A = this chain, B = another copy of it.
Amino acid sequence: MLRSDPEGRLEDRLNARPHLITLADPLQLQSGAVLPDVQIACQSYGHLNEAQDNAVLVLHGLTSDQHAAGASSGPARKPGWWNAAIGPGKAIDTDRYFVIVPNVLGGAGGTTSPAAQNPSTGRPYGLSFPVITLADMAKMHAALLDALGIEQLHATIGGCLGGFQVLEMLAACPARTGKSVIISATARTSAHNTALWAVLRAALMSDPNWRGGDYYNGPGPSAGLGLLAMTGALFWMSRETLERRFGIAPVSGVPRYTMEPDFAVEQFLNSVKENASKGRLDANSLIYLTRAIDYFDLARDAGSLQLALKGVQNPVLLVSYASDWRYPVEEMAEIAKALPENVPHQHLTLESTMGHGAFLYEFESLRPALSEFLR
A111 to B255, CA, bound (A): 25
Inter-subunit contact A194/B248 (CB<8 Å): yes
Q: Which of A30, A242, A265 has the most CB of B within 10 A?
A: A265
A273 at the interface (CB under 8 A from B): yes
Interface residues of A in 30-56 (CB under 8 A from B): 30-32
A294 at the interface (CB under 8 A from B): yes
Residues of B within 8 A of A325 (CB): 239
Interface size class of A (residues with CB under 8 A): 35 or more
15 A-B pairs within 8 Å (CB atoms) are namely A188-B248, A189-B248, A190-B243, A191-B245, A191-B247, A191-B264, A194-B266, A195-B233, A198-B230, A202-B227, A203-B206, A206-B224, A257-B295, A259-B291, A263-B294
A308 at the interface (CB under 8 A from B): no
Inter-subunit contact A234/B199 (CB<8 Å): yes
Inter-subunit contact A265/B133 (CB<8 Å): no
Proximity string of chain A (106-136) to chain B, C-beta cutoff 8 Å, 1 when within and 0 when not: 0000000000000000000001001101000
- Copies assembled: 2
A175 at the interface (CB under 8 A from B): no
A231 at the interface (CB under 8 A from B): yes
A62 at the interface (CB under 8 A from B): no
Residues of B within 8 A of A258 (CB): 131
Inter-subunit contact A239/B206 (CB<8 Å): no
Which residues on A are within 8 Å of B, measured CB to CB? 30-32, 127, 130-131, 133, 188-192, 194-196, 198-199, 202-203, 206-208, 223-224, 226-227, 230-231, 233-234, 239, 242-243, 245-249, 255, 257-259, 262-266, 269, 273, 287, 291, 294-295, 297, 300, 325-326
Find the B residue at minimum CB distance from A249.
B300
Inter-subunit contact B199/A231 (CB<8 Å): yes
Which of B30, B196, B242 meets A257, CB within 8 Å? B30
